[in-house]
Structure 1
Amino acid sequence: MRAIWKGAVSFGLVNVPVRLYSATENHDVQFRQVHREDGGRIKYKRVCSIDGEEVAYDDIAKGFETDDGEMVVLTDDDLSDLPISTSREIAVDKFVPSDQIDPLYYDKCYYLEPEKAAVKPYVLLREALEQTDRVALVTVSIRTRMTVAVLRVRDDVISMQTLLWPDEVRAADFGVLNDASDEVKPAEQAMAQMLVESLTGDYEPDEYEDDYEQAVRALVKAKLEGGEVKAPAPEADTGGEVVDLLAALQQSVNRAKSSRGEASDARRTSAEKSTKKAPAKKAAAKKATAKKAPAKKTAAKKTTAKKAPAKKKAS
């Protein structure tokens, strides 16, 4: 497991440095929405419900919708003024009997692991909780929000379980049950108690299995072995918004290299064509020069021989 938080449990003058681990994990089967024909994943665009235009990530703000449907837009400056907590302390407020907290209030559960130098005070707190049959009511800040939680012992490890706020627990008010107890006959009540006694036993978690998950995984395995797998084609570059600067730079470099590669290929192709035609032109030029050269030289010699005596006579 990987620690998701580090801090310290404080009760009285005792401080116990601890690491926080998630005690549970979700094994629910997750399905993707895909194109039936090729298995490609379905994407969704961020579109404004008013003008129907796609909205850039930088233009998206947080909004709070009131009970009557009005939307209040909150800016970063507004959110910066909200009370947040970065405390790394699990502060024990008081120790209460374990049966005072309705299990309905329990939310997420975590394990607390002590640092090596804090094993002794950790064990001291653990033994105190077990011997007194109490839980520690604490306040803790997780992801900048303060919440209430309880510390209790499970398998010699102190666990921390966050609690729901009172307004997060709904009241069950069903009018149809108001007079239901008057309709139950004593004989029926006695028979129900006998049924409960006949089915009494201990809770063994391993006795129950998620047959739906097992069936889905068996179905997927059978399709894999039968070759019924669709490998989606690489996603085309749609030129969409790039939020990360490094990704934008890398994309620009790749495009530049690609364009240079296409240009060099074009130049190379035209150069190869020119090279193939060049030898024919050069050969023709050589033949023409070979035929004309003797004629030019001969004419020049004859002309010089005739004119030379005439110049001497004139002098």
Structure 2
Amino acid sequence: MRAIWKGALTFGLVNVPVKVYSATEDHDVPLHQVHNKDGGRIRYQRICEIDGEVVPFADIDKAYDDGERTVVLTKEDIDSLPAERSREIDVVEFVPSEQVDLLTLDRAYYLEPDGASPKAYVLLRKTLEQTERTAIVRFSLRQKTRLAALRVRGDVLVLQTLLWADEVREAAFPALDEPVRISAKELELSASLVDSFASDFDPSQFVDEYQEELRTLIDAKLEKGDALDTSETFGDREVEETGGEVIDLMEALRASVERSRAARAGAADGTKKDAASSDSTAAEKSAKSSKKKAAKAS
């Protein structure tokens, strides 16, 4: 990984030099646009509307237009902002971790200790673990002042940027203002359905099916060209109709619980059969081995 930012994490008089790394990466299949008539690649150019010339990126500044006047801001103007020059991640408060709304979480970054000794880094990490609190920090990155949550992941401090309060919309849905009666039986069946799907979350068990299918499509098209029959590649699939109101909620809950239980039972039976088959195979091998030994002994 390559560090995207270097600075210091500060709280009180404590200063922790750190390097910042992107914690996530994109694995989507890279696609570009082409003209459907001849396959020519689509190109975009930065053209000045006054002289019609293509402008190199290095010669482009930013501007603000209030409707009557335009103010041009050069790179030097932007760099002169005090917040932009700051190389510090300032801890402003430590809050109970449950108070950080998941809806506000944005990009994640790893922090690596950059000093001669990682002691201050480890001290802060252990303090956050022991107090079960999250540090709220403020810093500047890529021409933006950012609010972030500093928390622990394994042995590493993770910086996760937060949306500002005015960036989160309020959910105002009139349908939720109406009183709704939920019976005890409906709640019981719903809880049973939840129990039937209960598990420990393991993100490695999930894959991006769309990207996998897209790669399959690309490989098949590279092999067969325009003669590709997608039904041969993916099979004929019926599109399930989703949405709409469930007319009989109780019946839907019962059916869902029964189907989930049947699926779990089938999976368990399959596991038992596999185990029995494995035991049987092992027993057969053991018996054959014993016969061979007996034959050699005689």
TM-score grouping bracket, smaller chain normalisation: 0.5 to 0.7
Q: What does residue 212 of structure 2 align with?
A: 214
TM norm structure 2:
0.66
Question: Which residue does the alignment assign to 1:106?
Answer: 105
Q: Distance in 2 between matches of 1:112 and 1:183?
A: 49
Q: How big is each residue's C-alpha offset from its partner over 1:7-32, in whole Å with a ceiling of 9 and x where there is no partner?
A: 11112222111110000112233421
Q: 1:193 to 1:171 in 2, by over 3 A?
A: same
Distance 2:31 2:69 in 1: 34
Mapped to 2, the partners of 1:42 and 1:202 lie a distance apart of: 46
Bigger radius of gyration, 1 or 2? 1
Question: Aligned partners of 2:63 and 2:142: how far apart in 1?
Answer: 20
> Against the structure 1 CA distance between its residues 21 and 153, is the aligned structure 2 distance closer, same or farther, given a 3 Å change threshold?
same
Task: Tell me the alpha carbon deviations over residues 163-203 of structure 1, each in whole angstroms, 9 at most, x when there is no partner.
Answer: 11111101110001111x42333321222122112222111
Partner of 2:71: 74
Q: Secondary structure at the match of 1:33?
A: coil
**Closer, same or farther in 2 for the Cα pair 1:62/1:12, shift >3 Å?**
closer
> Does the C-alpha gap of structure 1 residues 116 and 84 become closer, same or farther in structure 2, counting only changes over 3 Å?
closer
Q: Which residue matches 1:224?
A: 222
Alpha-carbon displacement from aligned partner over 1:196-239 (angstroms, at most 9, x marks no partner): 122221111011111111121122233334578xxxxxxxxxxx
Q: Which runs of 5+ in 2 are unaligned?
A: 227-298
Residue 93 (structure 1) aligns with: 92
Unaligned runs of 5+ in 1: 229-315
Partner of 1:267: none
User: After the TM superposition, which residues 160-175 of structure 1 pair with which residues of structure 2 at under 5 Å, given as runs?
Assistant: 160-175=159-174
TM-score with structure 1 setting the length: 0.62
> Equivalent residue for 2:29?
29
> What is the root-mean-square deviation of aligned Cα atoms in Å?
2.8
Query: Could you say which residue in structure 2 is the equivalent of 1:192?
Result: 190
Residues 45 and 54 in structure 1, CA contact (< 8 A), matched pair in contact too: no
CA distance in 2, matches of 1:114, 1:45: 41
Please tell me the residue identity of whatever aligns with 2:194: V
Cα distance between partner residues in 2 of 1:4 and 1:61: 23
Contact 1:86 1:144 in 2 (8 A): no
One-letter code of the match for 2:108? C
How far the C-alpha of 1:153 sits from its partner, in A, is 0.3
Conserved in 2, the CA contact under 8 Å of 1:22 and 1:110?
yes
Distance 2:42 2:68 in 1: 29
**Does structure 1 retain, via aligned residues, the 8 Å contact 2:147–2:161?**
yes
Q: Is the partner of 2:130 in helix, strand or coil? A: helix
Q: Distance in 2 between matches of 1:212 and 1:71?
A: 47
Report the equivalent of 1:136: 135
Equivalent residue, structure 2, for 1:308 = none
Contact 2:2–2:21 under 8 Å retained in 1: yes
Q: Paired residue for 1:18?
A: 18
